[in-house]
Amino acid sequence: MTSIYRGILGDNPFEVRVLDNSYLTKLLALQEIVYDDLPNKDILQPLSEEEFKEILQGKGLLIGAFVAEELIAFRAVLKPELDDEHLGYAIGLVNESDLNRVLYQEISNVHPEYRGHGLQKTLANIIMEQIDTTDFDYIAATVMPYNIASLKDKFSQGFNVVNLKYAYGGKLRYVFALDLHHQPQLEGERVAISMGDVDAQQKFLKEGFIGVSMKPLWDDWVIEYQKRL
């Protein structure tokens, strides 16, 4: 399959390809390796075999990074079904026509042996270049509070926290959104709130604030919120 990107990972040359059904077994195997390596399994919401198949068969896009022929990382975007849990509602959308213009930035996995080289960010940039922005207005994603690597990943791409809710059977998640056509207009001072203070964050979000950045503060991590015009 044709490469869409080539680079160097440490001492190893690697390439990125758009994946199809023939890579399903490798995707499932890599996801299992990554999941088993996690000290906190709540950090990752794995995709089922059926969900992988849906993306590979046209309801999104999957790209993979390879060293030689070994799949060492992958990243996915999904065109979601219109259901009651659609993240477009959490962004503030209500019309079906608007909801249909939302993509999800889905799972991102990097083999433990190849972490520390910025591969997750590289794949994010590559997959975003593949998206036709004439068809979509927003990219949405969910991240667990204190999943520092994934939170940094979203903020580095320009995503903002627009909601904090329970999903996936009661798991607390930030809802991130990226407006593909407009930068949010902000006003006032930033307010830093601990990731652990759920009530305060939800209060500010309801009052029209969005999360614009994150930083360590003493022995904690905080999200910085700013009022959206």
User: What's the pLDDT at 134?
Assistant: 94
User: What's the pLDDT at 1?
Assistant: 64
**CA pair distance 66, 68, nearest whole angstrom:** 6
Residues 6+ apart with CB under 8 A from 48: none
Give whole-number Cα distances, 26 to 32, 40, 89, 162, 195, in Å. 10, 23, 34, 34, 35
199: helix, coil or strand?
Answer: helix
Residues 6+ apart with CB under 8 A from 29: none
In DSSP terms, 13 is beta-bridged to 8
User: What's the pLDDT at 10?
Assistant: 87
What domains lie within the chain, and their CATH numbers? 3-183 (3.40.630.30)
pLDDT in tens, 37-55: 998 888 888 899 999 999 9
How is residue 20 written in tokens? 């199809």
User: Exposure pattern of 111-148 as b/e (b: 16+ CB <10 Å)?
Assistant: beebeebebbebbbebbbeeeeeeebbbbbbbbbbbbe
**CA pair distance 208, 155, nearest whole angstrom:** 18
User: What's the pLDDT at 190?
Assistant: 97
**CA pair distance 141, 217, nearest whole angstrom:** 25
pLDDT in tens, 79-136: 999 999 999 999 999 999 999 999 999 989 999 999 999 999 999 999 999 998 999 9
**CA pair distance 27, 109, nearest whole angstrom:** 9
Single out the residue of 56, 72, 55, 64 nearest to residue 21, CA to CA: 56
